[in-house]
Chains A and B, each alone.
Chain A
Amino acid sequence: MSRFDYRSASLRLASVAIVLGGWEYAGRLPVSEAFPSLSATLAAAWEMVRNGSMIQAIGITIVPMIIGVTISALAGVLLGLATGLSRRVEWLGIPLFLVLQAAPLAALIPMLVLAYGVGLTTKVLVVCIMAIPVIVLNSYKAVRHTPASLLEMSHSFLGSRRQTIFKVILPAASPVIFAGLRLGTAAGFVGAILAELLISPTGIGDLITYHQSIAEYPEMYAAIVAVILLSALFLELLDRLEVTLFRPERRAV
């Protein structure tokens, strides 16, 4: 291992240590009761895992997440590809999605939950609404920015339209498509959590609001940290998926 790697790794460790240490210290200061220390949060987390409330809550939140993200990924990428490959679909879809992407779609959530209740369907719908616009736009951009030279090369070697799409455009587009999937997944998470925080008393959102309402702050923070770690895990998995499926040349890098 070169010196450079040591420095990089130890800096990372130092960074984590500083933040966690700061948290521990700040939590012990008598400034606010609502700010528990790191150790209290960890203890609460452990307890919640033990008594099953954490696992159950994660389960309830994650299922609509996975379903919603899968649907959004498929629908979003397909739509994005269609807008990238067809001028007509582009005309129809892009202005709409541009508006949707800039818009605070979260505002639609209370409405949806109120009208359709707190079930699985609604949550999946919420995740999809939050995730699809950004996935579509990224896929569209990816397709439109396929290097012209590669397209010309495929044409010169007599590649059919279908071959060019699958063998050139898609792999070339995959980094940006996956960037969109990352953003979409993050947005989907926001949607799921928001739906739970606002109205539906289930899942991790409920854990957060419940413990907040009875002023059990370590538990509340534990739930929040769990959410953040969960989303980071999701996104990391997404990264691995991309490298495995589409960009083998990045495995070594």
Chain B
Amino acid sequence: MTFDKAIHARFQVAWPGFNLDVELRLPGRGVTALFGHSGSGKTTLLRCLAGLERQSVGSLNFKGEVWQDDARGICRPTHRRPLGYVFQEASLFPHLSVRKNLDYGRKRVNGGHKVSLDHAVELLGIGHLLDRMPDRLSGGERQRVAIARALATSPELLLMDEPLAALDLKRKSEILPYLERLHDELEIPVCYVSHVPDEVARLADYVVLLSEGRVVAAGGLRETMARLDLPTAFTEDAGVVIEAVVADHDETYRLTRLDFPGGSVVVARRQESLGRRLRFRVHARDVSLALARAEGTSIVNLLPATVVEVADADTPAHVLVRLDAGGTPLIARITRFSLDHLGVTLGKSMWAQIKAVALLG
């Protein structure tokens, strides 16, 4: 990551009862998830990046351009920062039609349109809604229009504040594929605020974990999710994200085999064609350990793995064991009793038994 292509941010916000103090270097491409519980400061950080938080003190260097440097008295107001922002709740202008909402930002942008309006409309699938008023749209449609409206300004940075939080499960699954297309088709760096691990695992390339206004960890998605040294707030939902390829379909038993470096897992038959990439999550609580390859078990996904690290879990009765399965990290949540009973030590070869796999997408 060279400095020129990166986003370097340093912000401090002091409110009664809450302090944000972060220093971050984010990649200039791909999706960065700002992940944490409510009150962790992730939305405040996003607003600082946008210049919406007037109380913030700090600096922001976007790919070599200074957007803010309070020490030197520089602060570009929000409307002079080439960014798009998608708010948590629907934020369409109620007095304008969908088309005029889309035009609002677009006609205020001078110069090149890297994202054409047609492309944004097509990407979010809102072509049939253009002449409607916002109050005639469903929640999911509104959020899609809001995303298209932000894209239509050809932003150099897209900021999204839990765009799915106000939606029910059905609407969420309606929008997620569009967000994945954004990720695949556009070169714009995206900062995505979320408190839902599955959303992060599905969309992000890079993760920033925030807790009480501080950065707890930052790094690539897989490395960060597999770390054990994080506060219990994150480890209670510990797990790893594995990127795999659809390798085989078994029509007799209606199963699909997914291959990844170091092994493979079998899941219920997927629609995706062979060769497609798929991400899945393995929760630590769904992984158990055995000394030998288990016989006579209903668990089909058994992987040989080496113990790399043991750490405290969210309860005193449990521990988290990080394993290396031929290059792919795994985390198992087992009891302290089992740890001692099985004699789990660093470097020991064991069998990981995966009870469940959460496919993302």
Asked if chains A and B come from one complex, the reply is no
